[in-house]
């Protein structure tokens, strides 16, 4: 149970355990009358400490989230390289030292303030605990700094050695405080270290986790990528040893086309587990969308080299994204008879239907999609897949019904919005399609496909110069994207370039046979009726 709110657009959660522990400590050190002031100072001091971390995350372009729990606080964001991570970690104590320094200067200027309990509490939480926080004790910022420094010096993590140093130092501090009669501070220091260690899985970095995935994955399936990312950040704060929220966050950032941030997340997953198949597939796609084809191919080859059955779904998805359709179709068909359970089998069947559709085998694809929908009628993604297949077959009324069902199950999903927009445009209603395609493109601003579909709608509405400008603004590496080539063909035909349009559509059909079939029912290409066939 926690109080949740946003501070300067940063999600914050203050747990009941934080209030309980601080209240207990306050009763040991203060009178009951002084307890409310103690709790306010404690909460604000710890929160501002975490804001320091959050500000540095934001400086590096990583959205953070803050959680105050029993032993203190934690700010979570996607992992940064060691040098940057050191600055993020150090920023929290730096804020506390700055606040404590200002309070200390005020005490020097007016010594009578030194007897005020609130001033004493401000000094304790900001100067005292911030200094303590910089020491390499288990579970505090100093341990994380030591880990990163050791990694930079040795070129590899040395968490065990750093932990031994921290445990020895912690024991010395606790025993020293107890010997001079400071029992309550000694207990508090021990509690901060113990709870921090438990919270971070016993290390300053991340360990493997097996806890059940949180709501972020559910949000991702609904197409709510930003909301899924925000939820994943909170889950990372709650369960930093669990890798699942990191993967969800990275995948959400990929969907949002924030490719640099997404790659940071996938890098973190692969730092923990270099053979994590979904992370390899995600990073390969991220790099491909940045035009870094050789790096993407290296990740794909590593992924294809994995022999474990759990990697098959990621391998098939990566081959689909890379346009290696025949290879991916063969892999999926070979894996289907060996599927370990019904869930995996249906996942592979859906992927096989996607391969069949893209390869121009629309009737086979529709048969698989229909069977899947009968088995799981509540899955919006299956209705969307069926809508795309029906488009290629020219059965636009049925496609509209399927796309509408998909969107009803996930009303803000950008892919489902785009699919319904495509169906409406092909049905001769570009005015209805335009707002859906705009929303889909805005949700994924750097995705060539989204801008290409929007450009097609602009051409159909007679806004050819706008369509050409949108296509011209795409990065150079996107010029070969089949959806972009398709849109260029439509723009060329609108300007009377029949030969150019025909040549471009031939290239489209080579890259994606399903788009060649779509051209046969697309109102934009009726002018090619007297031209040589594009097959």
Neighbour tally for 525: CB within 10 Å: 20
Does some domain include residue 189? yes
Q: What pairs with residue 10 in β-bridges?
A: 7
Residue 72 zone, left/alpha/beta (φ > 0; ψ -120 to 50; rest): left
Question: Considering the domain boundaries, does residue 355 fall inside one?
Answer: no
- State pLDDT tens for residues 116-174: 888 888 888 888 778 877 777 666 777 777 777 776 676 655 555 556 665 666 677 76
- The domain total for the chain is 3
Q: The tokens of 452 are what?
A: 């290409």
Residues 15 and 26 in one domain: yes
Backbone dihedral angles phi then psi of residue 15, each to the nearest 5 degrees = -80, 155
Confidence grade of residue 181 (pLDDT, cut at 50, 70, 90): confident
Q: Read off the tokens for 518.
A: 């779509």
Angle at 493 between CA 489 and CA 498, to 5 degrees: 100
Comparing CA positions, the residue from 346, 306, 307, 352 lying closest to residue 329 is: 352
C-alpha–C-alpha distance, residues 445 and 419, integer Å: 17
Strand bridging mode 10-15 / 72-76: unpaired
CATH code, 460: 1.25.40
147 plus 49 within the same structural domain: no
Question: Count of CB atoms within 10 A of residue 108's CB?
Answer: 10
DSSP secondary structure of 468-524: HHHHHTS-GGGGG-HHHHHHHHHHHHHTT-HHHHHHHHHHHHHH-HHHHHHHTT-GG
Strand partners, 68: 14, 73
In terms of domains, do 85 and 199 share one?
A: no
Looking at the domain assignment, is residue 47 inside a domain? yes
Across-strand partners of 74?
67
Closest CA to 68 of 102, 21, 105, 26: 21
- pLDDT recorded at residue 172: 75
Q: Is residue 389 part of a domain?
A: no
What would the mean pLDDT of 33-60 be, rounded to a whole number?
88
Tokens of 435: 């707002």
- Among 90, 114, 134, the domain boundary falls at 134
Neighbours of 371 (CB within 10 A): 14
Partners of residue 72 on adjacent β-strands: 69
CB atoms < 10 A from the CB of 466, how many?
14
Q: Is the pTM of this model over 0.75?
A: no
Question: Given a cut of 60, is residue 198 above it in pLDDT?
Answer: no
Same domain, 99 and 192: no
Write out the residue range of the structural domain in which residue 17 sits: 1-134
Short-list 401, 400, 461, 455, CA closest to 430 = 461
Is 244 a domain residue?
Answer: no
Q: Give the C-alpha separation, 327 to 296, whole Å.
A: 17
Residue 434 lies in a domain: no
In a domain, 233, yes or no: no
**Joined tokens for residue 365:** 């694809």
Q: 142 and 50, same structural domain? A: no
Among 152, 170, 205, the domain boundary falls at 205
pLDDT in tens, 235-266: 887 777 788 899 999 999 999 999 999 999 99
Percentage of residues in the chain with pLDDT exceeding 70?
Answer: 86
257 and 414 Cβ atoms separated by less than 8 Å: no
pLDDT score of 350: 94
Please check the confidence at residue 422 and state whether its pLDDT lies above 90. yes
* Domain shared by 78 and 29, yes or no: yes
Chain center to CA of 383: 25
Show which of 181, 205, 229 is a domain's final residue.
205
Q: Are residues 42 and 10 in the same domain?
A: yes
Quick one: which of 411, 390, 393 has its CA closest to 401? Answer: 390
Residues 112 and 179 in one domain: no
Instruction: State how far the Cα of 187 lies from the Cα of 183, in Å rounded to an integer.
Output: 6
Q: Which residue, 225, 223, 221, is CA-closest to 256? A: 225
Same domain, 108 and 68: yes
Task: Give dist(CA 516, CA 380) in Å, integer.
Answer: 26
Residue 237 CB contacts under 8 Å (≥ 6 apart), including other chains: 13, 65, 66, 67, 74, 75, 76
- Only one residue has tokens 């121009």, namely 360
On whether both 69 and 167 belong to a single domain, the answer is no
Residue 72 in 3-state DSSP? Answer: strand
pLDDT for position 276: 94
Query: Which is higher by pLDDT, 507 or 338?
Result: 507
Q: Which two tokens stand for residue 205?
A: 């970095």
Identify the band that residue 175 occupies on the pLDDT scale cut at 50, 70 and 90. Answer: confident
Whole-number pLDDT of residue 191: 61
The DSSP bridge partners found for residue 15 are: 2
Q: What would the mean pLDDT of 9-27 be, rounded to a whole number? A: 83
Residue 103 and residue 2 share a domain:
yes
In the prediction, which pLDDT does 203 show?
A: 33
Q: Does 322 reside within a domain? A: no
Six token digits for residue 475? 């990065």
Mean pLDDT of 477-499: 93
337-374 pLDDT per residue, tens: 887 777 888 889 999 999 999 999 999 999 999 999 99
- The pLDDT assigned to 111 comes to 86
Both 67 and 190 in one domain: the answer is no
**What backbone phi and psi angles, to 5 degrees, belong to 513?**
-55, -30
Alpha carbon distance 477, 145 (integer Å): 39
pLDDT digits (tens, 9 = 90+) for 303-348: 999 988 889 999 999 999 999 999 999 999 999 888 777 788 888 9
Which pLDDT value is given to residue 310? 83
Determine which helix (DSSP H) or strand (DSSP E) holds 14, and give its type and residue range: strand 10-15
- Mean pLDDT score across all residues of the chain: 85
Share of the chain above pLDDT 90, in %: 48
Q: Output the pLDDT for position 208.
A: 32
Partners of 530 in the beta sheet?
Answer: none
Report the C-alpha dihedral over residues 242, 246, 252, 254, rounded to 10 degrees. -150
For 60-116, the pLDDT digits (tens) are 877 788 888 766 788 877 666 667 878 888 898 899 899 989 988 988 888 888 888
């Amino acid at each position: 149970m926690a109080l949740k709110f946003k501070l300067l657009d940063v999600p914050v959660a203050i747990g009941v355990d934080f209030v309980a522990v601080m209240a207990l400590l306050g009763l040991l050190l203060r009178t009951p009358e002084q307890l409310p002031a103690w709790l306010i100072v404690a909460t604000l001091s710890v929160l501002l400490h975490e804001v320091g971390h959050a500000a540095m995350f934001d400086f590096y372009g990583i959205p953070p989230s803050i959680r105050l729990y029993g032993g203190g606080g934690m700010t979570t964001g996607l992992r940064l390289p060691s040098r940057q991570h050191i600055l993020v970690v150090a920023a929290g104590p730096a804020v506390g030292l700055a606040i404590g320094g200002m309070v200390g200067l005020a005490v020097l200027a007016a010594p009578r303030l030194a007897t005020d309990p609130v001033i004493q509490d401000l000094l304790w939480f900001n100067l005292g605990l911030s200094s303590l926080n910089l020491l390499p004790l288990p579970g505090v910022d100093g341990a994380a700094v030591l880990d990163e420094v050791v990694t930079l010096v040795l070129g590899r993590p040395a968490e065990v050695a750093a932990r031994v140093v921290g445990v020895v130092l912690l024991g010395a501090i606790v025993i020293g405080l107890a010997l001079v009669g400071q029992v309550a501070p000694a207990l508090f220091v021990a509690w901060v270290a113990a709870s921090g260690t438990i919270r971070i899985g016993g290390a300053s970095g991340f360990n493997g986790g097996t806890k059940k995935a949180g709501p972020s994955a559910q949000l991702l399936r609904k197409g709510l990528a930003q909301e899924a990312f925000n939820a994943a950040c909170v889950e990372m704060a709650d369960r930093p040893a669990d890798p699942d929220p990191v993967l969800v966050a990275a995948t959400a950032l990929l969907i949002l086309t924030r490719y640099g941030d997404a790659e940071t997340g996938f890098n973190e997953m692969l730092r923990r587990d270099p053979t994590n198949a979904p992370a390899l597939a995600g990073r390969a796609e991220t790099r491909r969308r940045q035009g870094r084809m050789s790096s993407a191919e290296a990740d794909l080859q590593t992924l294809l080299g994995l022999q474990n059955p759990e990697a098959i779904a990621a391998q098939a998805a990566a081959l689909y994204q890379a346009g290696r359709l025949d290879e991916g179709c063969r892999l999926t068909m070979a894996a289907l008879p060996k599927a370990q359970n019904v869930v995996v089998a249906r996942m592979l069947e859906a992927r096989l239907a996607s391969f069949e559709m893209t390869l121009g085998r629309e009737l086979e694809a529709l048969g698989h999609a229909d069977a899947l929908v009968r088995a799981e009628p509540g899955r919006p993604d299956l209705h969307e897949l069926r809508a795309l297949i029906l488009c290629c077959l020219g059965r636009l009324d049925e496609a509209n019904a399927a796309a509408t069902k998909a969107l009803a199950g996930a009303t803000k999903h950008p892919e489902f919005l785009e699919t319904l927009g495509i169906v409406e445009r092909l049905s001769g209603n570009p005015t209805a399609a335009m707002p859906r395609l705009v929303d889909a493109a805005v949700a994924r601003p750097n995705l060539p496909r989204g801008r290409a579909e929007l450009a097609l709608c602009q051409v159909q509405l007679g806004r050819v110069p706008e369509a050409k400008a949108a296509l011209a603004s795409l990065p150079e590496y996107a010029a070969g994207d089949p959806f972009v080539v398709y849109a260029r063909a439509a723009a060329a035909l609108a300007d009377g370039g029949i030969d150019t349009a025909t040549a471009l559509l031939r290239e489209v059909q080579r890259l994606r046979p399903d788009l060649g079939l779509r051209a046969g029912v697309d109102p934009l290409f009726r002018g090619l009726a007297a031209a040589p066939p594009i097959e």
